[in-house]
Every structure is written in C-alpha cells, then in structure tokens.
Amino acid sequence: MTDTAVVHIGLQTMMIAVKLGTPVLLTALVIGFAISLFQSVTQIQETTLSFVPKAIGVGVALLLSGNWMLHELITFTTGLYGQIPHLIGAA
C-alpha cells in the first residue's frame, strides 16, 4: 500500500463524509437561521425555542435523504472492500 493510495482513500472518505453530512447540517443551519431571525424581529429571547423545530427538521431531512445516504455509504464501502486485493499487492 503506497502513500498515494492512503491519501486517495482518505480524500474519498472525507468527501463521502461531507456528502452525507450536508443535508442534515444544511437543514439545521437554515432552520436555526430562520428561528434566530424570528427571535430577533420579535425580541423573544427564549433559547429552547429553536430546539424542537431543528429536531423535527433534522428528522425530516434524515427521512427524505436517508435512502440516498445509505446507498452512497454502501457503494463506498463495497468499492473499498473491492480494492483490498489491489491495496495489499495481490492483484
């Protein structure tokens, strides 16, 4: 296993982590921003107000994108297992 292969696998791993985390994090960011804007306009300073909508939004995002996330993760893992013979030099 060469250092180039390790760097390539690390880059692929980071890219899949970004792809899988984006829907959930973006949903939480948008909902948090909207609630923060609402709180600043109405001058309601309740810190627990943002928790329930964020939790619901993240749950909906997971329900909508969970199948895609699982497919991406299975594809990545299958490809990684398929590379094992090549990586250990038995190819």
CA 38/CA 32 separation, integer angstroms: 10
pLDDT, mean of residues 11-16: 96
Of 53, 21, 58, which Cα lies nearest the Cα of 36? 53
CA 19/CA 24 separation, integer angstroms: 10
pTM beyond cutoff 0.85 = no
> Tens digit of pLDDT for each residue in 37-73?
998 898 887 777 888 999 999 999 999 999 999 999 9
The pLDDT score that the predictor gives to residue 87 is 83
pLDDT, mean of residues 14-20: 96
> Tens digit of pLDDT for each residue in 27-42?
999 999 999 999 889 8
Query: Residue 90 above 70 pLDDT?
Result: no
